[in-house]
Amino acid sequence: MSVFSRSVFAGIALAALVAGGAQATPDKQHAVAAVGIDITTGDPHKITGGGEYMFFSNVFESLYGHDLDGKLVPHLAQSHELSADGLTYTFKLRPNVKFHDGEAFTAEDVKYSWKRSNDPEIKNPRASIVTKNIKDVEIVDDLTVKFHLTKPNSSLLENLGEYFYMVPKDYAEKVGNETFGKQPVGTGPYKFVSRRIKENIQLEAFKEHWGQVPGVEKLTLQIVPDAQTRVAMLQTGEADIAINLPPQLAKSVDAGTDTKMVVSPSFQNIFIVLNMRGSDKAFASTKVRQALNHAVDKQTLIKKVMFGFATQSTGPCHKDIIGCDIDREPYAYDPKKAKKMLEEEKFDFSKTYRMFGLAPGRAAQSKEVLEAVAFYLNQVGIKTETEFLEYGAWLAKLGAKEFDTYGLFWQNWTDYNNDPMGRLPRNIRTDGYFSWSSYPELDPMIDEANSIVDPKERREHLRKIFTRLYDDPPWIILWTTDNTDAARKNVDWKPRANVSWPVFWQLSKQ
């Protein structure tokens, strides 16, 4: 063989070796989901943000949770009873439930999980939602526990699934808190295998799960920050699922021969907050705020800016939130009416109103939405000046409450389940951390909402609050966004409705 031929052959062999790593080998039992963010810990009592539930909702469970359609269902409990005064919950636990290490789940684990959740050393940032309000957990027998509450908490059942996960007492005590966070053990459909920070999380189907065993044996959550790259991985087959794609990429995914969009509703609400507490009282008037709701064409924004992946809201939340199914129609787009109302209220058109929003990268189309709203406000004569901040600065601005500097700002809020009490105190109550509103007469109603034990009565109570918040809107009410995920066509995946994180309980590959 000549030198030339040998060189050519070597070159081809090298190219084959290099290119051999190009395409993923299809493996029906192993699914790869490309996700944009990583978790900070594997410890369910140290969850810091909503994005982390892509891990926790697949690995951990609570006594009650939600099914894939978003309905509240028993999980590790089979049933519950509530005392007439609303202070004692009795839970009958599901028998034969195992933790991932093979140990049986019993009432001891429930009590331990409660204690651990309130452990000052761990300082669970979410303890105040559920576990702090539990005065004591009484073990009646191996499969029966009683929660004794400090005061009635009608949100408790809805919030268990996101705020109070069960952990194994024996294992957690044996390994200690630090190791538990690195090698977590739960009862969920997937068990933790390993993790490389900012690279991937390896999970395995838990074959002894009490309910649904996933259709794949292994699941890799691959951390891929760039959305375009997640799409590319999907198109090449390196990923089976791509999570949280910007809506403008949906067309290219649907156009692919092997890829499809997987769209599901969420409870992520998008709105423009109107500062009711500025000393200039610019947005204090109800009619002014109603006018602004008429000034913005929400349907056009959904079509053109959100590419159709949103549902216009009537009330200040999704209609499936308890009490938010109010008897009203969404504010119609009517700029003439808006202008007339503003003039009648002697709105100051000479002033320029400062608005702030979230810079791109964190929430889909956050910048474009605020720019478009500014356009509509300009059309009715309102002068605006916008600035965009990265997430940390935006969050700080929200809490800083510079009432005399900003008139409006973009905000999102995600309800984690059907109960609105995660939001109302923080966003609407006058002293709420994120509240730029002022409804003195609603504050006691908000405080009272969790004390009402009867569900029908509570729903009606909340409906009154939300109806008021429609009639006297604190925001330009926009929409709830859809989850825009994607998958290969050979993947059968049903995500959970009404959450903003991927749940992989029902997942298989053909």
How many CA atoms does the CB half-sphere of 46 hold within 13 Å? 16
Kindly state whether residue 367 participates in binding other proteins, applying the rule CB under 8 A: no
Kindly state whether residue 23 participates in binding other proteins, applying the rule CB under 8 A: yes
Query: Judged by CB under 8 A, how many residues of this single chain contact other proteins?
Result: 46
Give, as ranges, the residues between 283 and 322 that touch other proteins (CB under 8 A): none
Cβ neighbours around 212 below 10 Å, total = 12
Q: What is each CA distance from 129 to 198, 395, 399, in whole angstroms?
A: 29, 21, 20
CA quadruple 132, 138, 142, 143: dihedral, nearest 10: -70
Interface pick for other proteins out of 197, 254, 328, 351 (rule CB under 8 A) = 197
Q: At its nearest, how many Å lie between other proteins and the CB of residue 250?
A: 17
Residues 238, 470: contact at Cβ < 8 Å? Answer: no
Give, as ranges, the residues between 144 and 163 that touch other proteins (CB under 8 A): none
Q: At its nearest, how many Å lie between other proteins and the CB of residue 405?
A: 17
Q: What does the chain come to in residues? A: 510
Residues 418, 387: contact at Cβ < 8 Å? Answer: no
Residue 417 and residue 429: Cα distance in Å, rounded? 20
Residue 38 and residue 29: Cα distance in Å, rounded? 23
Stretch that binds other proteins, among 105-113, 304-312, 392-400, 502-510 (CB under 8 A): 392-400
Residues 418, 498: contact at Cβ < 8 Å? Answer: yes
Kindly state whether residue 126 participates in binding other proteins, applying the rule CB under 8 A: yes
| Residue 273, token pair as written in the block | 């907050």
Kindly state whether residue 224 participates in binding other proteins, applying the rule CB under 8 A: yes
Give, as ranges, the residues between 433 and 452 that touch other proteins (CB under 8 A): 433-434
Q: Residue 153 or 235: which CB sits closer to other proteins? A: 235
Interface pick for other proteins out of 48, 79, 286, 490 (rule CB under 8 A) = 48
Residue 18 and residue 22: Cα distance in Å, rounded? 8
Q: Residue 144 or 183: which CB sits closer to other proteins? A: 183
Residue 488 and residue 373: Cα distance in Å, rounded? 36
Give, as one character, the DSSP assignment of residue 25. P
Residues 411, 317: contact at Cβ < 8 Å? Answer: no
Site string for other proteins, 58-87 (x = CB under 8 A): ------------------------------
Kindly state whether residue 13 participates in binding other proteins, applying the rule CB under 8 A: no
Stretch that binds other proteins, among 73-81, 210-218, 311-319, 393-401 (CB under 8 A): 393-401
Residue 228 C-alpha from the chain's centroid: 22
Interface pick for other proteins out of 1, 3, 19, 84 (rule CB under 8 A) = 19
Q: At its nearest, how many Å lie between other proteins and the CB of residue 196?
A: 7
Interface pick for other proteins out of 96, 176, 198, 456 (rule CB under 8 A) = 198
Kindly state whether residue 22 participates in binding other proteins, applying the rule CB under 8 A: yes
Interface pick for other proteins out of 26, 28, 391, 402 (rule CB under 8 A) = 391
Kindly state whether residue 125 participates in binding other proteins, applying the rule CB under 8 A: yes
Q: Residue 422 or 495: which CB sits closer to other proteins? A: 422
Which letter, b or e, does each residue of 256-295 get, where b requires 16 or more Cβ atoms within 10 Å of its Cβ?
Answer: beebebbbbbbbbbbbbbbbbebeeebbbbeebbbbbbbb
Residue 23 and residue 26: Cα distance in Å, rounded? 9
Interface pick for other proteins out of 78, 194, 212, 236 (rule CB under 8 A) = 236
Residue 333 and residue 293: Cα distance in Å, rounded? 8
Residue 223 and residue 120: Cα distance in Å, rounded? 32
Residues 440, 300: contact at Cβ < 8 Å? Answer: no
Q: At its nearest, how many Å lie between other proteins and the CB of residue 427?
A: 10
- Sites of contact with other proteins (CB under 8 A): 17-23, 40-41, 47-49, 123, 125-126, 128-129, 178, 181, 196-199, 222-226, 228-229, 232-233, 235-236, 238, 390-393, 395-396, 399, 422, 426, 433-434
